[in-house]
Copies of this chain bind each other. A is one copy, B any other.
Amino acid sequence: MFENKDNSTTSIASLGEFGLIDHLTKNFKIKQKSTVKGIGDDAAVIACNSKNEIVITTDLLLEGVHFDLSYVPLKHLGYKSVIVNLSDVYAMNAEPTQITVSIAVSNRFPVEALEELYAGITAAAKIYNVDVVGGDTTSSTTGLLISVTALGTVKKGETVYRSGAKENDLLVVTGDLGAAYLGLQVLEREKEVFKVNPNSQPDLEPYTYLVERQLKPEARKDIPNLLNELGVKPTAMIDISDGLSSEIIHICKHSKVGCNLFEDKIPLDPQVITTCEEFNLDSTTIALSGGEDYELLFTISTEDYPKIKANPHLTVIGHMTHENEGTHLISRAGTKIPLIARGWNPIKDSE
């Protein structure tokens, strides 16, 4: 009935994820006076009372698209499904408070498998101090699906959007980049080896950090507190789920600014560097496009630089420019290369 064989129809792959969302949501009008921010940031913002706002964000994870159960333990998957949502809450400078968790499962999963999944969800809820307050459970005709929605709270006036970056602001990133993507490459390689020789024992020792970043990511719950203690309010913030270049472009687009990103400033873990050499990959490309790092990317006024200088969690990687100057990577050799969003795209034209 809906086979896309008619040339007069448009394939969803031709629009890409963000193009598709823009296209489908352009007719939505905001009418409720409690809606402070609708679609277009890491989370929506709802007015709560004179002191606080509530943020809400949601993510879908599908077997065969977002995860492969041949090497992702269900407990880790449950944990990660919560983390990816909490990361969006922190990116609004908010504190997560409640989540709902919906799952669809085919009957190939026994109850014991779901117990593992929920053990991971429970662990994440405990560590991040959020309550699981609802959800839906249904059967699926194929694999496993998890839909998590997270609520958070933030003091009115403290909410940070993608849209507040100003020319000359400094671009700051937490932690280091690229490890989660390389962890996936290592796991995929071991899966192929296992297919050829099921008796092989993988030696993941050189890749422990990478595999942990892929299988058990953490959200930066420390950062909103740290910034508050340092007396710094970011002018704009976003979480790095798709890749650094994609997120920089989001901030630039929403803030109507340009950006110079310095290649030699991008923080990389030593395991990322050695594994990139082993896999013959360019570490900058991995950091720019790898995705799933769940670090925070934010901009601050230059006046705040002394407050964050030398903080081991924070790295200044660039600065914002006039919109007309565009968005560029300044390479180690000093070459100016336009940044392109090559982040992971869940709307892909695969069968």
- A residues touching B (Cβ–Cβ < 8 Å)? 1-4, 6, 9-15, 17, 20-21, 23-25, 27-32, 34-35, 37-39, 43-44, 46, 48-50, 54, 56-60, 62-66, 69-70, 97-98, 100, 102, 104-105, 107-115, 118, 122, 125-126, 129-143, 145, 147, 149, 151, 153, 346-351
Contacting pair A138 B35 (CB below 8 A) = no
Which residues from B are CB-within-8-Å of A15?
A: 111
* With contact pairs A28-B122, A44-B98, A132-B39 given, residues A64 and B1 touching in the complex (Cβ less than 8 Å): no
* With contact pairs A2-B109, A129-B32 given, residues A59 and B27 touching in the complex (Cβ less than 8 Å): no
Contacting pair A2 B32 (CB below 8 A) = no
* With contact pairs A56-B133, A131-B31, A136-B59 given, residues A98 and B46 touching in the complex (Cβ less than 8 Å): yes
8 A–B contacts from the bound complex (CB under 8 Å): A2-B110, A6-B110, A9-B113, A20-B111, A25-B118, A34-B153, A48-B49, A139-B347
Contacting pair A110 B12 (CB below 8 A) = yes
* With contact pairs A28-B122, A98-B56 given, residues A4 and B108 touching in the complex (Cβ less than 8 Å): yes
* With contact pairs A44-B98, A44-B133, A131-B35 given, residues A111 and B141 touching in the complex (Cβ less than 8 Å): no
* Residue on B nearest A126 in the bound complex, by CB: B29
Contacting pair B64 A149 (CB below 8 A) = no
* With contact pairs A4-B110, A12-B107, A46-B133 given, residues A141 and B62 touching in the complex (Cβ less than 8 Å): yes
Contacting pair A23 B151 (CB below 8 A) = no
Which residues from B are CB-within-8-Å of A145?
A: 60, 62, 104, 145
Which residues from B are CB-within-8-Å of A143?
A: 141
* Residue on B nearest A27 in the bound complex, by CB: B122
Contacting pair B34 A134 (CB below 8 A) = no
Which residue of B32, B111, B139 is within 8 Å of A346 (Cβ)?
B139
Which residues from B are CB-within-8-Å of A56?
A: 98, 100, 133-134, 149, 151
Contacting pair A100 B31 (CB below 8 A) = no
* Residue on B nearest A140 in the bound complex, by CB: B62
* Residue on B nearest A70 in the bound complex, by CB: B1
Which residues from B are CB-within-8-Å of A346?
A: 137-139
Report Cα–Cα, A125/B15, bound state, in Å. Answer: 25
Interchain nearest-CB distance for A289 vs B (Å):
18
Contacting pair A57 B10 (CB below 8 A) = no
Which residues from B are CB-within-8-Å of A20?
A: 111, 114, 137
Interchain nearest-CB distance for A91 vs B (Å):
13
Contacting pair A107 B43 (CB below 8 A) = no
* Residue on B nearest A113 in the bound complex, by CB: B2
